[in-house]
């Protein structure tokens, strides 16, 4: 898609360990040519399956080979949907040569890790960093599995606050697989002996991807998120080329939502992600949707509309 690429060992979202975190929802399938993973899921009310990129982002070790894998999926899957990671060496035009539908999805906030953190963070965030660090200690954790039980308490608080259910809520087994994936790094915030926050990241090549983060009620009160983000910037400065902070809330980009404002304060810019979709078995797809195709507007695949609402 973009010329010869250097294939690197699978890490983070491209690893088998991360793919296993979704086994309760379908069958993880490695794409043999590009080195990425998809989840093949049974389609309710039928004996058919479709494929989706792993949540939240699809990445692989050889983007040039993705087209071959999409073609091979036609043998088993009715449709394919995925969201590209923001540092993928591909663009809308090249992706359009592989997928039936390609649309810019969400803008992710990113940080050039060569820039000193003090030159990145906006003044109001730095004021909160100083306040938080007076009450919260943050250390780097390279084995989050040792914090799994404490993490489940933090994650339960987040799910209650934001009514998170379904695949995004994750089970204990799913988290155990995620925490075992190569490249994981955590930033552990404590007030005394109490874990009040954990900020989880995956290092993949020269990029650090923000994965999940959760805080206790005391962590929110102490604004521990400012302390963990600052320590994260300090840790990755000079160690990777880019830091991916993720996007704002919701299914579309909204530059004015609170999460976007928070992430903007740690970033040096934005990059686009792309929602990519293809009908791989047109007759089967039409049968499931009453004759609709890949070009029809609205949610894709149409027979799963509302699943992540």
Sheet holding 37-42, edge to edge: 27-30, 37-42, 49-53, 79-83, 269-279, 101-112, 242-246, 207-215, 194-204, 184-191, 137-141
d(CA 225, CA 107): 21
pTM value is: 0.92
pLDDT tens for each residue of 152-177: 999 999 999 999 988 889 999 999 99
Q: Provide the pLDDT for residue 254.
A: 56
Q: What is the pLDDT of residues 94-120, one digit of tens each?
A: 999 999 999 999 999 999 999 999 999
How many separate helices (H) and strands (E) can be counted in the chain? 11, 11
Provide the pLDDT for residue 4.
Answer: 46
Enumerate residue ranges in the chain where pLDDT < 70. Answer: 1-8, 250-256, 309
Residues 166/308, Cβ–Cβ less than 8 Å: yes
The residues pairing with 157 across neighbouring beta strands, listed in sequence order, are none
Per-domain boundaries in the chain? 12-105+274-304, 114-240
**Which of 209, 192, 211, 212 is CA-nearest to residue 152?**
212
Average pLDDT of every residue of the chain: 93
Integer Cα distance of 212 and 162 in angstroms = 14
* DSSP H helices in 141-265: 148-162, 172-179, 217-221, 224-236, 258-264
Instruction: Give, as one character, the DSSP assignment of residue 10.
Output: -
Alpha-carbon Rg for the chain, nearest whole angstrom, is 20
pLDDT for the residue numbered 3: 46
| CA–CA gap between residue 25 and residue 306 (Å, rounded) | 17
CATH superfamily of 114-240: Gcn5-related N-acetyltransferase (GNAT) (3.40.630.30)
CA separation for the pair 187, 225 (Å, rounded): 10
């Amino acid at each position: 898609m973009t010329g010869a690429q250097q294939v690197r060992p699978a890490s983070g979202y491209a690893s088998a360990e991360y793919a296993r975190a979704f086994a309760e929802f379908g069958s993880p399938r490695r794409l043999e040519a590009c080195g990425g993973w998809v989840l093949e899921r049974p389609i309710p009310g039928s004996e058919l399956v479709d494929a989706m990129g792993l949540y939240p982002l699809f990445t692989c070790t050889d983007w040039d080979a993705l087209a071959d894998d999409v073609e091979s999926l036609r043998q088993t899957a009715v449709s394919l949907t995925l969201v590209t990671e923001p540092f993928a060496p591909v663009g809308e035009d090249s992706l359009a040569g592989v997928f039936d539908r390609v649309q810019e999805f969400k803008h992710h906030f990113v940080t050039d890790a060569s820039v000193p953190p003090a030159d990145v963070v906006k003044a109001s965030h730095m004021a909160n960093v100083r306040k938080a660090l007076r009450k919260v200690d943050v250390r780097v954790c390279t084995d989050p599995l040792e914090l799994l039980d404490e993490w489940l308490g933090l994650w339960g608080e987040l799910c209650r606050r934001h009514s998170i259910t379904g695949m995004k809520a994750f089970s204990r087994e799913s988290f155990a697989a995620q925490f075992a994936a190569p490249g994981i790094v955590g930033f552990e915030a404590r007030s005394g002996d109490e874990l009040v926050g954990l900020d989880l990241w995956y290092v993949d090549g020269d990029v650090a991807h923000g994965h999940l983060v959760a805080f206790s009620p005391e962590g929110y009160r102490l604004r521990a998120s400012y302390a963990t983000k600052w320590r994260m910037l300090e840790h990755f400065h000079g160690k990777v080329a880019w830091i991916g902070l993720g996007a704002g809330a919701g299914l579309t980009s909204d530059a004015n939502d609170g999460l976007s404002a928070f992430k903007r304060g740690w970033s040096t810019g934005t990059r686009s992600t792309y929602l990519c979709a293809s009908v791989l078995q047109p007759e089967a797809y039409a049968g499931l949707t009453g004759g609709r195709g890949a070009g029809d507007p609205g949610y894709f695949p149409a027979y799963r509309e509302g699943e992540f609402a």
